[in-house]
Amino acid sequence: MIRWLIAILFSLQAFAAAAQDDPAQLPWGRGFPVLVRAGLSFVEVKAINENEGNFTATVDMRLRWRDLRLAYPPSQAAATGYIDYKEDAAEKKLSEIWNPRSEFGNMSGEPTFRKTGLRIYPNGQAELLQRTTATFNTDFPLEKFPFDNQLLTVEILSRIEPLQKVQFDFRQDELEFSNTRYIKEIDGWTVGLVEISPSPVPSWRGEMNTGVTVGLAIKRDQSSLLATIFVPLFSSLLIPLLALWLNKMEDGEFTVDATELTNISIGGLFAVVGLNFTVNSSFVNLAVGDNPVMRLFGLNYFLLGLCIAIGIVFYRFNAVKKLFGHHVQNELFVYMNWAIPLLVLCTATAMVMMAMF
């Protein structure tokens, strides 16, 4: 019995040694998980498409890990201190050794450009550098539009082993590499820093695969949008208010015909509908969420409906005068002429200020 146990142990040891001799197998020499330092630098952002929820960019991904099986005498290294593989040579070497087989989890379609480089140092450290041009899917929350900050994210994943065996990690070196400032500006946006965060993804059998999310912070340039969206929105608020301000009372009677004042509000309604259609055509996702623009449109529609109701009930049928008398009608008319505009102005200002801060 003891002989059988010894034989089994020797067999397992021989199997493990054989596996370790295979450079394409998971490296065991330094224990689990195998740490892979991951960083990504944004070289160029070519296009941002908020309506489609994606952006096109060129990125440099760098992965570094240590495999003792790759170690070699320093005398064999080049003058640079490492062995450098490029393009086809790098792809060939990667097929012969273990590597995390990373992929971009949010890449849309196939990349339009890809270039690979591999460096191996005498101590067994491998450094994979890959430049890729592709389109990446990302979310654009618009709750604070147009005073919003967005994050252009790229997800780096490895699905070959569970999180317990292979783990993407990052340290200060990866943050510094990721914040290499290739990009100075993006049309319509101000460029910020790059953020890295762990983002494991579910695998089968209840396990998790390792991953990190690298995001480039950008801030929207509001100057053009304030002129094209907010100025018309605030101006359209004045249209239904004209239905209040243009009327006056003489001897207890309104001097302007109710039909003319109601036509002003109806004309304003068509103007707001046209502006709403134009904005939604340019920014499709604005219509499906809560944001200052939709709130201001809602305020416009509410004020138009209120002024149309006032024109019919107050001016056309003199309902207040008939129900409560001449004095109440006069006081209510004076009150509406300053209270409604003040309330609308404060509400619209509060909507914008809530998005700014």
Looking at residue 2, its pLDDT comes to 58
Q: pTM score, two decimals? A: 0.82
- The two tokens of residue 70 are 């790759």
Q: Which helix (H) or strand (E) holds 192?
A: strand 189-198
Output the CA–CA distances (angstroms, integers) from residue 22 to 27, 78, 140, in the order listed.
9, 25, 45
Give 77's Cβ-side CA count (13 Å radius). Answer: 16
Domains of the chain: 24-220 (2.70.170.10), 224-356 (1.20.58)
- Say whether pLDDT at 18 is over 60: no
Looking at residue 173, its pLDDT comes to 92
| Peptide bond connecting 146 to the previous residue in cis, omega within 30 degrees of 0 | yes
- Say whether pLDDT at 28 is over 90: no
Reduce the DSSP state of residue 62 to 3 states and report it: strand
- Say whether pLDDT at 14 is over 80: no
Region 155-181: mean pLDDT is 91
The burial class, CB within 10 Å (0-12 / 13-18 / 19+), for 67 is buried
Region 1-20: mean pLDDT is 45
User: What radius of gyration, in Å, describes the C-alpha atoms of the chain?
Assistant: 33
* Least reliable range by pLDDT among 74-88, 130-144, 197-211: 74-88
Looking at residue 9, its pLDDT comes to 44
Contact 289, 143 (CB under 8 A): yes
pLDDT tens, 166-175? Answer: 999 999 999 9
Looking at residue 328, its pLDDT comes to 82
CA dihedral 175→177→179→184, nearest 10 degrees, is: 180
Percent of the chain at pLDDT exceeding 70? 94
Region 147-165: mean pLDDT is 93
Residue 137: pLDDT band (50, 70, 90) is: very high
CB count within 10 Å of CB 350 equals 12
How far apart are alpha carbons 331 and 251 in whole angstroms?
14
- Say whether pLDDT at 19 is over 50: no
213 or 21: which leads in pLDDT: 213
Region 177-193: mean pLDDT is 86
pLDDT tens, 208-229? Answer: 999 999 999 999 987 778 888 8
CA 196 to chain centre: 14
Region 301-312: mean pLDDT is 90
- The two tokens of residue 288 are 């499906």
- The two tokens of residue 127 are 């450094």
Contact 254, 320 (CB under 8 A): no
Look at the block and give the residue holding tokens 């509001």.
222
Phi and psi at residue 332, to the nearest 5°: -65, -35
Phi and psi at residue 184, to the nearest 5°: -95, -35
pLDDT tens, 100-131? Answer: 999 999 999 999 999 999 999 999 999 999 99
Contact 268, 239 (CB under 8 A): yes
| Peptide bond connecting 33 to the previous residue in cis, omega within 30 degrees of 0 | yes
Output the CA–CA distances (angstroms, integers) from residue 304 to 259, 296, 299, in the order listed.
15, 12, 9
Look at the block and give the residue holding tokens 């339009």.
112
Across the chain, mean pLDDT equals 87
Task: Compute the Cα dihedral for 24, 27, 32, 38 and give only its sign.
Answer: negative
How far apart are alpha carbons 219 and 138 in whole angstroms?
15
- Say whether pLDDT at 301 is over 90: yes
Contact 136, 54 (CB under 8 A): yes
Contact 55, 134 (CB under 8 A): no
Q: Which candidate, 264, 206, 213, 216, places its Cα nearest to that of 104?
A: 213
Q: Which candidate, 224, 204, 102, places its Cα nearest to that of 158?
A: 102
Region 312-336: mean pLDDT is 82
Instruction: Give the chain's count of helices (H) and strands (E).
Output: 10, 13
Amino acid letter for position 309: A
Contact 131, 43 (CB under 8 A): yes
